[in-house]
């Protein structure tokens, strides 16, 4: 999503949907992500993110801090929680979405 210009801003256990069987993507391609040290195969899909109500196109929206809060509390990054608790505006970043994925992983491991 991020490479496609989208910042989700509400990564949670209810918004990550896994498919039982992978499906082929009709307009697939491979992407080279040197920072990951590997090529990424985008020809099949094993899951997807739902609920793009709070998503923004980060390339089109100027980066401004906001007092608006988006996200599902147990999965929001600690930085955003602390900033909002101090009643300060916050800029939601890709790092916050990545931390939300980590909290979903922790939640999943606890609830196995």
The predicted-structure confidence for 52-101, as pLDDT tens digits, reads as follows 998 989 888 777 777 778 889 999 999 999 999 999 988 999 999 999 99
- Of the pLDDT bands very low, low, confident and very high (cuts 50, 70, 90), residue 14 is very high
Task: Identify the pLDDT of residue 76.
Answer: 96
Task: Identify the pLDDT of residue 73.
Answer: 92
Percent over 70 (pLDDT), the chain: 85
Could you tell me which residue, 39 or 16, shows the higher pLDDT?
A: 16
Q: How far apart are CA 29 and CA 44, in angstroms?
A: 10
- Of the pLDDT bands very low, low, confident and very high (cuts 50, 70, 90), residue 107 is very high
């Amino acid at each position: 999503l991020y490479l496609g210009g989208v910042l989700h801003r509400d990564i949670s256990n209810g918004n990550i949907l896994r498919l039982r069987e992978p499906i082929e993507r009709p307009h697939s391609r491979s992407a080279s992500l040197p920072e990951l040290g590997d090529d990424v195969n985008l020809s099949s899909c094993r899951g997807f993110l739902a609920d793009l109500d709070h998503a923004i196109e980060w390339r089109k929206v100027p980066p401004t801090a906001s007092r608006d809060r988006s996200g599902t509390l147990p999965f929001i990054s600690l930085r955003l929680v602390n900033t909002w608790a101090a009643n300060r505006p916050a800029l939601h970043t890709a790092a916050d979405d990545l931390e939300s994925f980590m909290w979903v992983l922790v939640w999943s491991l606890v609830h196995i």
